[in-house]
Chain A
């Protein structure tokens, strides 16, 4: 194999929550495998190019990766402009946590059914996707490691709960079923450093396996290379943490 691994990418259809078909982008490393699997949960800006690119990044590093379009129902199909679809979802107060769990479960099942997956599956998400990744790992017991990047709304006031978000994720901590890597910027306001402290205190209280990394000089979304929020040094250090974490927990 050459230093830079090839890959093939395609859109697949999976049966999401309640059997609804949704589209997912798959990046498969070249070679026979077996490969560890990574399921990506996109952020509030939607099934965006950044997430498609990040899916390929995982394949580039030897992971079989999939990222489902959690907003497909809201956008009139897989060909909807992700930016417009995300604006619609924002106006509607986001998607239901239960729908996200159903869709993500479909992506995890798809991964586990692949003959070139090594049987280990990691989960990663940022922003709302970080919150979603944590929720999923607390409710379902079929992932081997989870990375939460600045999940806003893990800590929620009672007044923030609604039909779509009926329970604060922090109150699900007891159910966390796998090691957690948390990555946060200390200049972020959602989650604020105080909320990250609360999140960590609950993990400690419940005796969970976790590691949190908090970066000075970084706020929300400091991985987003196309945004002014990008912080190269902190981002690349955190990528190193992700590769080490998944390398440890998804190896077979």
Chain B
């Protein structure tokens, strides 16, 4: 399948390729045939920095099923992180849980 299913979002952080960490500028999410994984169509995640060249890339190919599990894990972790942020900063947390950071 030659899909045009692709999403590109801003990324702040770093990724590791080999022994080198590099700063990120974008995350590219796609659904297309796998290039390396011994699978058919896959969700691909490319963490990249275009300014550093095409080699500044940490790529992942996941089955659709495990990509959904990753999404769920991200949702859980982000929800918990949002709660932590709210608690520490007192922004939107349950009042009885808010304390001075």
| Chain A residues in the interface with B (C-beta under 8 A) | 44-45, 74-76, 80-81, 83-88, 90-91, 93, 127-128, 131, 150-153, 160, 188-191, 219-221, 227-229
At the interface, yes or no: B101 with Cβ under 8 Å from chain A? no
Q: How far is the CA of A72 from the CA of B26 in the complex (A)?
A: 21
Query: Closest CB of chain A to B49's CB: distance in Å?
Result: 11
Option from A75, A80, A84, A91 in Cβ contact (under 8 Å) with B26: A91
Q: How far is the CA of A76 from the CA of B52 in the complex (A)?
A: 10
Range class of the B interface residue count: 20 to 34
At the interface, yes or no: B50 with Cβ under 8 Å from chain A? yes
Chain B residues, CB < 8 A from A87: 28, 44, 46, 48, 54, 57, 59
Chain B residues, CB < 8 A from A91: 6, 8, 26, 28, 30, 46, 48
Q: How far is the CA of A190 from the CA of B5 in the complex (A)?
A: 11
Query: Closest CB of chain B to A33's CB: distance in Å?
Result: 35
Verify B54–A76 contact, CB threshold 8 A.
yes
Query: Closest CB of chain A to B18's CB: distance in Å?
Result: 12
Contact count A vs B, C-beta below 8 Å: 77
Option from B2, B39, B40 in Cβ contact (under 8 Å) with A153: B2
Verify A80–B54 contact, CB threshold 8 A.
yes
Residue interface mask B24-40, A partner, CB < 8 A = 1: 00101010111110111
Chain B residues, CB < 8 A from A228: 38-40
Verify B50–A127 contact, CB threshold 8 A.
no
CB-nearest residue of chain B relative to A74? Answer: B54
Chain B residues, CB < 8 A from A90: 6, 28, 30, 32, 46
